[in-house]
């Protein structure tokens, strides 16, 4: 929070640009570079997108979202463990079903991004994935394409996702890796924890899989640019009543789903800070063919099997610079 408060203020220093002809002077203060700040990392975003776009294969891509059932309370008190578990189980689910000859029978690549928020800033952890519509056969001799317009059966994915997640969650509890506080402190008891999970074993765990609207490039931009709980563009007003912002009610279809909400200042800050990640936690991860240890070789092999040439290297976008005065700036201090 301190980083965001000081971002682009004199506290972080800056530089002065002054015109040698008319002495016009402008000050550009430094950014905080905190990954949770909605104003920072524009240059990093462009570099990340350029790198990912260079890896895209000439095949349809699918947008997959895996939403666990009501685990938000447990995850809030055990962020590092539960978020990591959500990543690993989501990837294992996708890789396992894709490798099954009854479905695709291939090794696939996954780029996964963790989102912890709902549109109203509620705590709603889930994983977004962008996945090419196919993979490399087990013997690495051919590219296996999925059926047109259909990637993997979401019902099968949902069942395996639920089973694996609950198994590993129980294992973490038995190993004493989970902490519980306040009203949830009773969940430290094994029997009460089992009773708490019982309804989740029967609940529907949602898995969404469709081709991304606008192509894989648009999906990549969505995954990265929505990197914090709320963007400045959604803020409408800040006054004595609180903070007013735009949000989307996904339970409603059509234009009526777009609404405005006003929260008290402290409640708004509380909701925003719920989504600060543990220090050092990687929010973007790659699995399967895109695992960094062999990503370059796998992409090269996939291009070979698809009989397409490697795209020409593109120049990395230049960092975003502060606006300059209209006159000629001849001195910078």
116-148 pLDDT, tens digit per residue, is 998 899 999 999 999 999 999 999 999 999 988
Domain that holds residue 33: 1-40
In this structure, is residue 333 part of a structural domain?
no
11 and 65, same domain (yes or no) = no
Please answer whether residues 178 and 192 qualify as being in contact, where contact means their C-beta atoms are separated by less than 8 angstroms.
no
In this structure, is residue 256 part of a structural domain?
yes
In this structure, is residue 94 part of a structural domain?
yes
Q: What is the pLDDT of residues 57-83, one digit of tens each?
A: 989 999 999 999 888 999 999 999 999
206 and 287, same domain (yes or no) = yes
pLDDT the model gives residue 228: 82
* Token duo for residue 271: 């909701």
Please give the average per-residue pLDDT across 12-41, as a whole number: 86
- Mean pLDDT of the residues in the chain: 87
121 and 28, same domain (yes or no) = no
257 and 163, same domain (yes or no) = no
Banded model confidence at residue 292, pLDDT cuts 50, 70, 90: confident
In this structure, is residue 331 part of a structural domain?
no
In this structure, is residue 317 part of a structural domain?
no
154 and 28, same domain (yes or no) = no
Q: What is the pLDDT of residues 211-255, one digit of tens each?
A: 877 777 877 777 765 578 888 889 999 998 899 999 998 888 888
Helix/strand/coil for 229 = coil
- Taking CA atoms, 51 is separated from 45, 114, 257, 313, in Å, by 10, 19, 35, 10
Count of domains for the chain:
3
In this structure, is residue 324 part of a structural domain?
no
203 and 256, same domain (yes or no) = no
pLDDT the model gives residue 310: 59
45 and 26, same domain (yes or no) = no
160 and 269, same domain (yes or no) = no
Please answer whether residues 276 and 123 qualify as being in contact, where contact means their C-beta atoms are separated by less than 8 angstroms.
no
153 and 69, same domain (yes or no) = yes
98 and 235, same domain (yes or no) = no
93 and 198, same domain (yes or no) = yes
217 and 83, same domain (yes or no) = yes
Residues 6+ apart with CB under 8 A from 285: 87, 91, 111, 112, 113
In this structure, is residue 325 part of a structural domain?
no
The pTM assigned to this predicted structure is 0.85
């Amino acid at each position: 929070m301190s980083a965001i408060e000081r971002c682009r203020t004199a506290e972080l220093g800056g530089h002065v640009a002054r015109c040698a002809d008319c002495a016009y002077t402008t000050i550009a203060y430094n950014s905080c570079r905190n990954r949770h700040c909605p104003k920072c990392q524009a240059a990093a975003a462009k570099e990340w997108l350029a790198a990912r776009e260079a890896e895209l294969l000439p095949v349809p891509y699918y947008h997959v979202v895996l939403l666990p059932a009501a685990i938000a309370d447990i995850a809030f008190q055990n962020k590092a463990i539960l978020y990591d578990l959500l990543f690993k189980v989501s990837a294992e689910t996708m890789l396992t079903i894709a490798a099954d000859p009854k479905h695709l029978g291939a090794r696939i690549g996954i780029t996964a991004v963790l989102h912890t928020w709902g549109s109203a800033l509620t705590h709603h952890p889930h994983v977004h994935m962008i996945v090419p519509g196919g993979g490399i056969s087990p013997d690495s001799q051919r590219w296996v394409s999925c059926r047109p317009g259909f990637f993997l059966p979401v019902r099968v994915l949902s069942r395996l996702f639920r089973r694996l997640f609950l198994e590993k969650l129980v294992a973490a509890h038995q190993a004493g890796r989970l902490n519980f506080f306040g009203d949830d402190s009773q969940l430290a008891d094994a029997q009460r924890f089992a009773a708490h999970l019982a309804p989740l074993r029967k609940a529907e765990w949602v898995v969404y899989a469709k081709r991304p609207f606008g192509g894989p490039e648009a999906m990549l931009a969505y995954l990265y640019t929505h990197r914090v709980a709320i963007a400045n563009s959604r803020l409408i007003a800040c006054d004595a009543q609180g903070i007013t912002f735009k949000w989307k009610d996904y339970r409603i279809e059509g234009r009526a789903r777009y609404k405005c909400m006003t929260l008290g200042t402290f409640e708004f800050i509380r909701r925003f800070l719920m989504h600060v990640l543990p220090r050092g936690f990687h929010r973007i991860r790659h699995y399967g063919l895109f695992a960094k240890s062999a990503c370059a070789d796998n992409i090269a092999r996939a291009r070979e099997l698809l009989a397409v040439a490697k795209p020409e290297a593109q120049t990395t976008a230049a960092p975003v610079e502060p606006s300059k005065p209209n006159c000629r700036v001849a001195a910078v201090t």
